[in-house]
Amino acid sequence: MSEAKKYGWTGQGLRINLTTGEITKVPTQKDWIGGTALGYKIFWDEVPPKTQAFDEANKIVIAPGPLTGTGAVCSGRTSVTTMYPTTYPIHEIGSAHLGGDLGAKMKYAGYDFIVIEGKAKEPVYVYVNNDDVQIRKANHIWGEGTRRAAALINQETSPTASVTVIGPAGENLLPMSVIINAKSHTGGGIGGVWGSKNLKGLAIDGDQPIHIAADKEEWEKLVNRNKELLGALTQTVVSRYPHPLFEYHSLNSRWSGMPGKQWGAANPPINVPLDTRRLSKMAFRTNAGEFFLGDREWARHVRNNGCFACPIRCYPVIKDTATAAKYNVHPITEQTCGGLLFPIFFYPNLKNHPERNIEIAIVGSQLMDDLGLWCNYGQLQRDMIVMYQDGYWKKLLSKEEYDSLPWKKIDDVDASAMQDFLPRIAYRKGEFGKWLGETTPVMLDHFGIPVKTWSDDHRTLYWSNGHPKHHTNEDDGQLGCVLNCMWNRDPMAHAHVNFTRSGLPIKEMKHIAKVTWGDESAVDQIGDYTPTNTYKMKRLQWVIARTELHNMLGLCSWMAPWEYCPDEKNQYVGDPNMEAKIFSAVTGVNKTGDDLDKDGIRAWMLQRVYTMRQLGSSNMRKDHDLVPGWIYTDPKDRKPFTKGTVRMDPDDINKSFDIFFEQVGCDKETGVPTTDTLKAYRLDFVIPVLQKEGLIK
């Protein structure tokens, strides 16, 4: 092991071939920084573009970033790049992003990235302990749920190892499956890829340092400044309710930790302090459990959990012994966001029994996690329920299968219904179970339902290419719509919606927009949209750059970037260069915010041209960048740009694409990067390949 100091990067990755058992160490291409960018580059270099998700030739690139393991705030995220089984019509390159402690342990074991390739002959798990890397048999663990599988692997390796596993859904090659780290940190859509390689899990332990190039005092000062820029979860920077220490409040805000609230299930219960603005109290700001489940969650709240090096900690730990006894589940649930919220979407009649939301969340999230099932931001629920409400299941399933399903329990809002139908999906039981576990358009194709039926229907929230919408026109008008077409799965981006839902009034947001993107018109009040313009699309380019960049650095996209902050004295203006300052301090490589934005766009562009090769497309606007019909509808038939509607205008959306592609250096008709642009982003090496394949001139 080298004694040289490792500033951010360990300088090496691990390549594990499950077919041959060969384990090698390879140098890190630091020019690509880390995370998704390393993954895209490895795919470009090594994986034929027509490879499909479950082919042996598919690879899995697990990569945090140079900030991971340093203690930089919110730097505990890891990207996992592979061919995505949920994309449509073919499996295209994509990345899952998960938290927990996977990335930090990788770095402490001495690795910037791990490439898994090939396919084991029988179930295995991989154990990495610094230099010692073993492929171990996992026949005795195959078939176990994620909770027990992780516990068994910890028992057999080390109690301090970070363990990531798949559940039965991944073993059964469901596209709608996850990998899961540290109980509840999931990477969606890729459990089946691990399953296709007979890979049950990955355990990592290590005890090597990651160094910081800056001196200690400078580093501490910078980290404290970064903490001052943090709000509550999703970077909301004002309180939820009126509070003596805040100028504004907003019901959008996740800053709900206030006097009078209590972590009621802690032992003894803990009162939320008055001044959660103080850095030492910031973990009290957020209670995602209350945000998604309502005020009654406080009485069940034990504490917050979260990813490595995160002072916000958005995973509520919820204790509910009554629900545990009633449904035979564990009294403790740890989850956040979609995991807590989405199970209720299985119950359209919940409005008649709103008090049942917590038990539904507890039963649903525990079962989904243990089975390793992915709901793809509620798409699973919406598909299942729209198929039910519109009579498709009754028409398409045999009478015997239809009658065996717990429809009455669903109608009656009974959480135990999930204990019946979720295992059917994870184990591919019947037509119902088999096809719900596929991606939406594959299921629709199978049942002979035109995909357009779904993409025109607002209830489904289906977007295109196999994925649902993720913060689109309901959160950021045209910007959200174009953004949702920029990767092959949903964009997993929050830099836009964090800002528009920061809780700040529009006049403050416009001030920040002017300072950051040059003009107030870069942002609109949600639901009071104005026609598109260059500043909105400039902000879009920035959001794309930062989204990719955060996935390269290992930063959490719910908390970064920090162009705004809770500081009313400075009119809430933050520091858009904070990522660059932290990066430079850690690595000793001086970069500005603009430099890093270029790195982000460079990586995004590499995945785009790789996707062109996969689709054989020389016109991405026609073949890839597709928006659904429902964005052009309104329940009250209000016209676009009328206050109160988020309805979009087709010409305006087209114009948004035109402006954006021109700005970023693509041909505006095709959305394909020009050769000059590819050269400017140091992507010269892709030009001859694209030319040879007839995709560019």
Give the binding site for ligand SF4 (CB under 6 A): 74, 76, 99, 233, 306-307, 310, 312-315, 556, 558-559
* Sheet-wide strand order for 78-84: 23-27, 12-17, 113-117, 60-63, 78-84, 92-98
Residue 183: both structure tokens together: 């109980």
- DSSP result, 268-293: S-EEPPS-TTSGGGGGGTB-HHHHHH
Please identify which residue in the block is written with the tokens 């779904």: 454
Smallest distance, Å, CB 629 to ligand SF4?
33
Comparison of 338 and 433: residue with beta carbon closer to ligand SF4: 338
d(CA 125, CA 513) in angstroms, rounded, equals 48
Comparison of 53 and 104: residue with beta carbon closer to ligand SF4: 104
Smallest distance, Å, CB 311 to ligand SF4?
8
Smallest distance, Å, CB 318 to ligand SF4?
15
Let me know: does 439 contact 493? Beta carbons within 8 Å: no
Smallest distance, Å, CB 552 to ligand SF4?
16
d(CA 585, CA 581) in angstroms, rounded, equals 6
Smallest distance, Å, CB 163 to ligand SF4?
17
Amino acid identity of residue 269, one-letter, is: P
Rounded (10°) CA dihedral 671, 602, 662, 697: -50
d(CA 685, CA 679) in angstroms, rounded, equals 9
Residue 310, phi then psi, degrees to nearest 5: -110, 120
Strands 162-166 and 78-84: unpaired
Comparison of 49 and 69: residue with beta carbon closer to ligand SF4: 69
Let me know: does 73 contact 309? Beta carbons within 8 Å: yes
Compute the half-sphere exposure of residue 87: CA atoms within 13 Å on the CB side of its CA.
Answer: 25
Smallest distance, Å, CB 102 to ligand SF4?
12
Comparison of 111 and 308: residue with beta carbon closer to ligand SF4: 308
Comparison of 334 and 649: residue with beta carbon closer to ligand SF4: 334
Residue 185, phi then psi, degrees to nearest 5: -95, 110
Comparison of 97 and 602: residue with beta carbon closer to ligand SF4: 97
Can you say whether the dihedral through the CA atoms of 475, 479, 480, 481 is positive or negative?
positive
Strands 467-468 and 462-464: antiparallel
Smallest distance, Å, CB 124 to ligand SF4?
29
Comparison of 307 and 620: residue with beta carbon closer to ligand SF4: 307
Comparison of 482 and 556: residue with beta carbon closer to ligand SF4: 556
d(CA 542, CA 516) in angstroms, rounded, equals 10
Smallest distance, Å, CB 314 to ligand SF4?
3
Comparison of 76 and 167: residue with beta carbon closer to ligand SF4: 76
d(CA 154, CA 163) in angstroms, rounded, equals 7
Smallest distance, Å, CB 288 to ligand SF4?
8
Displacement of CA 272 from its chain's centroid (Å): 29
Cis peptide before 64 (omega within 30 of 0): no
Comparison of 18 and 314: residue with beta carbon closer to ligand SF4: 314
Comparison of 265 and 310: residue with beta carbon closer to ligand SF4: 310
The neighbour count for residue 148, using CB atoms within 10 Å, is: 14
Smallest distance, Å, CB 181 to ligand SF4?
11
Comparison of 78 and 196: residue with beta carbon closer to ligand SF4: 78
Strands 262-263 and 270-271: antiparallel
424-to-93, 396, 448 alpha-carbon distances in Å: 28, 17, 22
Comparison of 63 and 126: residue with beta carbon closer to ligand SF4: 63
Smallest distance, Å, CB 312 to ligand SF4?
4
Q: 693: Cβ–Cβ under 8 A, 6 or more apart, which residues?
A: 613, 616
Using CB positions, name the residue nearest to ligand SF4.
Answer: 306
Smallest distance, Å, CB 304 to ligand SF4?
8
The neighbour count for residue 259, using CB atoms within 10 Å, is: 13
- DSSP result, 41-87: HHHHHHS-TT--TTSTT--EEEE--TTTTTT-TT---EEEEEEETTS
d(CA 30, CA 9) in angstroms, rounded, equals 8
Smallest distance, Å, CB 211 to ligand SF4?
22
Smallest distance, Å, CB 122 to ligand SF4?
34
d(CA 97, CA 195) in angstroms, rounded, equals 18
Comparison of 8 and 99: residue with beta carbon closer to ligand SF4: 99
* Sheet-wide strand order for 301-305: 301-305, 315-319, 332-334
Strands 199-205 and 124-129: parallel
Enclosing H/E stretch for 137: strand 132-137
Enclosing H/E stretch for 162: strand 162-166
Residues in the chain: 697
Comparison of 282 and 522: residue with beta carbon closer to ligand SF4: 282
Rounded (10°) CA dihedral 667, 668, 673, 678: 70
Comparison of 360 and 556: residue with beta carbon closer to ligand SF4: 556
Can you say whether the dihedral through the CA atoms of 378, 379, 382, 384 is positive or negative?
negative
Please name which of 565, 677, 648, 532 lies closest in space to residue 230, comparing C-alpha atoms. Answer: 565
Smallest distance, Å, CB 446 to ligand SF4?
35
Comparison of 74 and 152: residue with beta carbon closer to ligand SF4: 74
Comparison of 51 and 557: residue with beta carbon closer to ligand SF4: 557
Rounded (10°) CA dihedral 9, 12, 17, 18: -50
